[in-house]
Amino acid sequence: MTPDDLTAALGPDESVMIAAFEGWNDAGSSASAALDHLAQTWDAKEHAAIDPEDYHDFQVSRPTVTRDADGDRIVSWPGSIVSTASIEGAPEVSIVRGIEPSMRWRSFCKEILDHAENLGVSTLITCGALLVDVPHTRPLPTFVTSEQEAARARFGLERSDYEGPAGIVGILGHEAQHRGMTVLSLWVGVPHYIAHPPSPKATAALLVQLERLLNTSIDLGDLVEDSDAWVRGADELAEEDEEIADHVKQLEALMDETSLPEASGDAIAAEFERFLRRRDDGGPKRTD
């Protein structure tokens, strides 16, 4: 179900946690960039830092070394941060932003959700991005689903029938559901032929849908201009490569067909499931 079809939004008396992680679920760094944007725009304050020692293989997600203004070395370790923000007229929001862990996923999810319970979170929104067959010249597809019948009835959602490899956002949502939280899964599709980050158009698409879910306004800042520049860059790529140009035209025709008024929500949701299966037919792909 596309967020345009939502029949309800979260109320200002609810407490929401939004989570995204770099890695397999984050094509073009779209989802993690969306949460970075939220944290900055809403002046989020750090609530807790998840110690990476138990969850990360530092040969996969390496620490980085930088220098401060005095020239002193600073080592930054990969990990996850839980922060909080208050937005007038909108739900209380917690933001979880980090890197998909390499190990001990159940313990990792427990630690995140313990913080969620301490913050009184009632709804978890997981955000992800995947590489799909869509043209950069059209609005990028976004989808919201839920495994819970009550959530589907409240928001007018559908259930994903995806089966296959799972990322950390899927496991976190599964564990949150067992704790009695409402869980919504928000995804955006990123054109596979321009997969390298950043993907500002996809990031903006996620933020627009979060506006609908939270019933609040989110300042997109430079993302509008960045998205226009991203599209122009993709146009130039197509102009230089005839094969890509032909592929874009085929994708445009397909998307225009599924966007006709007679195209049902079920048909659009089914196309999303085909996107997911095509990705997994080629095996898991790291997108960080």
**Mean pLDDT of the region 186-206:** 94
Q: How far is Cα 44 from Cα 86, in angstroms, rounded to an integer?
A: 8
The angle formed by the CA atoms of residues 165, 167 and 168, to the nearest 5 degrees, is: 145
Q: What is the pLDDT of residues 246-256, one digit of tens each?
A: 998 888 888 87
Task: Give me the pLDDT at residue 9, please.
Answer: 81
Strand ordering across the sheet containing 15-22 = 45-50, 80-85, 92-99, 15-22, 123-132, 182-191, 142-145
131 pLDDT above the threshold of 70: yes
pTM here? Answer: 0.85
Nearest to 234 by CA among 288, 278, 191, 186: 191
User: Is the bond into 12 cis (omega within 30 degrees of 0)?
Assistant: no
Phi, psi of 244 (to 5 degrees): -65, -40
Residue 183 lies in a domain: yes
pLDDT band at 286 (very low <50, low <70, confident <90, very high): very low
Question: Cβ-count burial of 13 within 10 angstroms (0-12 exposed, 13-18 middle, 19+ buried)?
Answer: exposed
How many structural domains comprise the chain? 1
Residue 287 lies in a domain: no
pLDDT band at 88 (very low <50, low <70, confident <90, very high): confident
Length in residues, the chain: 288
Which residues contact residue 228 at a Cβ distance below 8 angstroms, ignoring those fewer than 6 apart?
none
Residue 286 lies in a domain: no
Can you give the residue range of the structural domain that contains 269? 3-281
Percent residues over pLDDT 70 in the chain: 87
pLDDT band at 203 (very low <50, low <70, confident <90, very high): very high
CATH number for the domain harbouring residue 150: 3.40.50.10900
Nearest to 28 by CA among 288, 228, 277: 288
Three-class secondary structure of residue 121 per DSSP:
coil
Which residues contact residue 140 at a Cβ distance below 8 angstroms, ignoring those fewer than 6 apart?
134, 188, 189, 190, 191, 201, 202, 205
Residue 288 lies in a domain: no
Residue 138 lies in a domain: yes
